Amino acid sequence: MEQQVKKYEIGFLVREESEVDEIKNALAAVKAEVVSEGRLKKIRLSYPILKETVAHFGYYWFNADTQAIKVMDASLRLNSKVLRHIIIAAPVELNEERVPGVRGEKTEKTRERSAEKPVKKSPDSDAVDNAVLEKTLEEILK
């Protein structure tokens, strides 16, 4: 069977910082080439996961064989030290210029829509007295 290498991203939650080694070991087991890694960050969870309310979040960008992803996913599901994980195909190249419509870049359609929207001003910002308005109109009409 021919190997097809693709770019992936894995996001994960672990209880302790030292448990990141479980992710590294899973990547090494499938011979994945790590391209980039995100800084590990301690976060408060929105809801408890396995009775944990705080976890460490991190991510890796890596290249791996498409068949190996299934194996890695299965091994991480069985690993009790990994609270949650998700593996996705990388949406854009890491070193490419930003692509319009991806990660906050505006496309032509969104630029047009934002230009069409009327700007609302607060009623107090340009309040004009009627007397001043009438005086200005008289000057214009002269």
Q: Domain locations in the chain?
A: 5-89
Q: For position 91, what pLDDT does the model report?
A: 73
Q: What percent of the chain has pLDDT over 90?
A: 56
Name 102's Cβ contacts closer than 8 Å, sequence gap at least 6: 91, 92
User: Residue 18's closest CA among 44, 59, 56?
Assistant: 56
Asked if residues 83 and 116 have their Cβ atoms less than 8 Å apart, the reply is no
Q: What is the pLDDT of residues 25-58, one digit of tens each?
A: 999 999 999 999 999 999 999 999 999 999 999 9
Q: For position 95, what pLDDT does the model report?
A: 45
Q: Is residue 2's pLDDT more than 90?
A: no
Q: Is residue 63's pLDDT more than 80?
A: yes
Q: For position 142, what pLDDT does the model report?
A: 82
CATH code 2.120.10.80 for 5-89: no
Cα 91 to Cα 88: distance, rounded to the nearest angstrom: 8
pTM of the model: 0.61
For residue 60, the tally of other CB atoms under 10 A from its CB is 20
Q: For position 113, what pLDDT does the model report?
A: 62
Q: What is the pLDDT of residues 94-139, one digit of tens each?
A: 544 444 554 555 566 666 666 666 656 555 556 678 888 888 888 9
Cα 94 to Cα 56: distance, rounded to the nearest angstrom: 24
Cα 4 to Cα 13: distance, rounded to the nearest angstrom: 28
Q: Is residue 83's pLDDT more than 90?
A: yes
User: What integer best gives the mean pLDDT of the chain?
Assistant: 83
Q: Give Cα 76 distance to the centre of its chain.
A: 22
Q: What tokens were used for 39?
A: 């800084």
Q: Is residue 88's pLDDT more than 80?
A: yes
